[in-house]
Structure 1
Amino acid sequence: MKANNLLEQLPTDLSLEVIENIVTSDKVRIERIVSLGHTSPELGWYDQEEHEWVMVLSGHGVLDFEEGGTVHLKAGDAINIPAHTRHKVLATALDEPTVWLAVFY
């Protein structure tokens, strides 16, 4: 057994957002997402079949919800997004990587 630190060994090339599976099973998927100024595409919304619990480990991000509301997340903040809640990422930190921990269930 070996412990992993999710804030270490960050990708050096962040020209694209990096999504890494940490744990996968039939009922849950846990990802580390590393962003640097990345946002959702202009057109369209995420509309996922799964619930998503997401936490910002470092940096910050801004989520927008189609039914209204914008949520600003800083390190330590978390939010649960029910399945089919249409949302997008409006902003992530430009001066440091934003590291997200996302649990899909």
Structure 2
Amino acid sequence: MNNLLNKIPDSLPDELFEELVNTKGVRIERIVSHGHTSPEQGWYDQTEHEWVLVLSGFGVIEYDDGQLFQLKHGDYLNIPAHQKHRVAATSSQETTVWLAVFYPA
């Protein structure tokens, strides 16, 4: 049996992206952050929708129009395809574990 909150490295120099499922229509990832943010020079602009859930810690998603979404334990957000976004902040006090589901537009 697997657990999304287990096997978290003690040290995370970079965000950790782990693909859990990849089928023709759906991709599911576990993302682990600890004070990480998106690179300053770019925004994510994906061809698929992304549904994200915060399992532990917190994260702030920013859209390119300035909207901010503060997600804590149990909060989720659906990000439409081609909605430019970035991770503006994650907790530096505890590990943030995200579950991300990517599905066709």
Please indicate the TM-score interval, normalised by the length of the shorter structure.
over 0.9
Percent of paired sites with the same residue = 60
Query: How far apart, in 2, do the equivalents of 1:24 and 1:13 lie?
Result: 27
Please list every run of at least 4 consecutive aligned residues from structure 1 whose deviation after the TM superposition is greater than 2 angstroms.
none
Name structure 1 gaps, 5 residues minimum.
none
SS of aligned partner of 2:20: strand
**Whole-Å separation in 1 of the counterparts to 2:11 and 2:29:** 18
Residues 56-93 of structure 1, C-alpha deviation per residue, up to 9 Å, x if partnerless?
A: 00000001101231010001000000000000001000
RMSD of the alignment, in Å? 0.8
- Note if contact 1:11-1:18 (Cα within 8 Å) is conserved in structure 2: no
SS, match of residue 90 in structure 1:
strand
Tell me by how many angstroms 1:26 deviates: 1.0
1:1-105 matched pairs, under 5 angstroms: 3-105=1-103
Letter in 1 for 2:6: E
Aligned counterparts of 2:72 and 2:39: Cα–Cα separation in 1: 22
Matched residue type, 1:78: Y
TM-score (norm 1): 0.95
Q: How many residues get paired?
A: 103
Aligned mates of 1:68, 1:15 — CA distance in 2: 28
Unaligned runs of at least 5 residues, structure 2: none
Output the amino acid matched with 1:49: T
TM-score, reference length from structure 2: 0.95
Q: Say if 1:60 and 1:93, in contact at 8 Å, map to a contact too.
A: yes
